[in-house]
């Protein structure tokens, strides 16, 4: 019974991050598909990926089954590929959607924790060869989020350094640094509630857990049909 109860409970701080990530991602995709002339929408969207990366790290730390977690990401990666290339007007395998990036980032962190240098390089190589959304930057950013969870200062420095390296080729992505205060606030809030022995969890319907996965291909499908006028 205790294990079942854990499945329907959720951290309020993590819930907040999910909604901010989802909203900023949606704004970004609306800008990319429907209003490309309004660059401010894409700039707002730069905040979403670090948030999703940090949520992935939290998910890896709290999951009781890493294989099932990875399988769920990969299943939705394949489900989302058709809506992804339709929404953005790309060829079917010109690039791979964000779930492939998150899956690769999950492997990257997992192998990093195992301290296996050769295996750590595999997700980086895959992200480069297979042209994931956000590419090698995305996988390394997830690695920075893992460091941030363990050590705030080290994580912030590493993420800043990563964005400085990519600044010449992707200037707008530098705005992703504005996601850091939100992440740090959630981290401190969570620690404060833990120190005070306050129950920071609330009842969480199981359907909501899957909603955040389903939302990605669903909203891309809606954006596609909105763009083509159906």
**pLDDT one-digit tens code per residue, 181-192:** 999 999 988 776
For the chain, what's the residue count? 230
Q: Strand pairing partners for 9?
A: 203
Inside any domain, residue 79: yes
Q: Is the pLDDT of residue 195 over 60?
A: no
Please check whether residue 38 lies inside any domain of the structure.
Answer: no
If one counts the domains in the chain, the total is 1
Q: Is the dihedral of CA 98, 104, 109, 110 positive or negative?
A: positive
Residues 23-53 pLDDT 10s: 999 999 999 999 999 999 999 999 999 999 9
Asked, for residue 2, whether it belongs to a domain, the answer is: no
Q: Is residue 153 part of a domain?
A: yes
Domain extent at residue 66: 47-228
Cα torsion for 129, 135, 137, 141, to the nearest 10°?
-110
Within-domain flag for 224:
yes
Q: Would you give the DSSP letter of residue 98?
A: H
User: pLDDT tens-digit profile of 106-138?
Assistant: 999 999 999 888 899 999 999 989 999 999 999
Is the backbone of residue 96 left (phi > 0), alpha (psi -120 to 50) or beta? beta
Q: What are the pLDDT digits (tens) for 51-98? A: 999 999 999 998 989 999 999 999 999 999 999 999 999 888 889 999
In a domain, 13, yes or no: no
Q: What is the overall mean pLDDT for the chain? A: 89
Residue 138 covered by a domain: yes
Where helices occur in the chain by DSSP H, the ranges are 2-7, 12-33, 39-44, 48-62, 66-87, 98-114, 117-129, 135-150, 152-166, 180-195, 206-228
Is residue 24, in this structure, part of any structural domain at all?
Answer: no
CB 146 within 8 A of CB 109: yes
User: pTM, whole model, 2 decimals?
Assistant: 0.90
Name the residue with tokens 């959304």.
133
Q: Residue 170 region, left (φ>0) first, then alpha (ψ -120 to 50), else beta?
A: beta
Give the model's confidence band at 3: pLDDT under 50 very low, under 70 low, under 90 confident, else very high: very low
According to DSSP, residue 11 is labeled E
Q: What is the pLDDT of residue 161?
A: 98
Q: What is the dihedral of CA 78, 82, 83, 89, to 10 degrees?
A: 140
């Amino acid at each position: 019974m205790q294990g079942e109860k854990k499945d329907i409970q959720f951290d309020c701080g993590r819930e907040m991050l999910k909604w901010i990530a989802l909203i900023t991602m949606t704004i970004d995709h609306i800008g990319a598909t429907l209003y490309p002339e309004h660059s401010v929408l894409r700039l707002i969207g730069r905040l979403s990926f670090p948030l999703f990366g940090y949520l992935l790290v939290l998910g890896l730390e709290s999951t009781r089954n890493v294989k099932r977690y990875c399988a769920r990401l990969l299943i939705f990666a394949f489900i989302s590929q058709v809506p992804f290339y339709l929404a953005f007007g790309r060829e079917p395998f010109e690039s791979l959607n964000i779930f492939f990036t998150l899956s690769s980032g999950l492997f990257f962190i997992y192998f990093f924790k195992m301290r296996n240098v050769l295996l750590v390089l595999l997700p980086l190589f895959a992200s480069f060869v297979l042209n994931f959304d956000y590419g090698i930057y995305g996988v390394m950013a997830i690695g920075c989020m893992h460091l941030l969870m363990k050590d705030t200062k080290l994580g912030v420095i590493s993420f800043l350094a990563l964005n400085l390296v990519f600044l010449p080729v992707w200037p707008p992505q530098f705005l992703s640094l504005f996601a850091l205060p939100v992440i740090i606030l959630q981290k401190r809030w969570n620690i404060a509630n833990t120190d005070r022995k306050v129950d920071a969890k609330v009842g969480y319907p199981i359907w909501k857990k899957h909603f955040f996965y389903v939302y990605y291909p669903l909203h891309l499908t809606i954006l596609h049909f909105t763009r083509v006028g159906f």
